[in-house]
Amino acid sequence: MPENEKTFKPLDPLLHSELRLAVMSILIGADSADFVYLKAETGATSGNLSVQLDKLQQAGYIEVTKGFKGKVPQTVCRITEHGRDAFAAYVEALRSYISAGNR
Partner 1 sequence: MENNFSAENSLRLIAETIERSRRTIAKNSGKPLILWGSLVALTAVVIYILWSLTGSPAWNFLWFAMSAVGAVAMRSMMRNSEKVPDTEISRTLGKIWMWFGIFSTGFFALVWAAWGVRCAVGIEGPLRVDLTLVILLMMGLCGTLSGAVLKFKPITVSSVVATALSALFLMVMPDGSPVRILTFAILGAFALIVPGVILQKQVK
Residues forming the site for partner 1 (CB under 8 A): 11, 16-19, 21-22, 25-26, 28-34, 36-37, 40-42, 44, 48, 90-91, 94-95, 97-98, 101
Provide the minimum distance between the beta carbon of 10 and partner 1 in the complex, in angstroms, as a whole number: 12
The Cα 42–Cα 20 span in angstroms is: 10
Provide the minimum distance between the beta carbon of 45 and partner 1 in the complex, in angstroms, as a whole number: 10
The answer to whether 55 touches 14, Cβ cutoff 8 Å, is yes
Q: How far is CA 42 from CA 8, 45, 46, in A?
A: 29, 9, 11
Identity of the residue, 3 or 31, whose beta carbon is nearer to partner 1 in the bound complex: 31
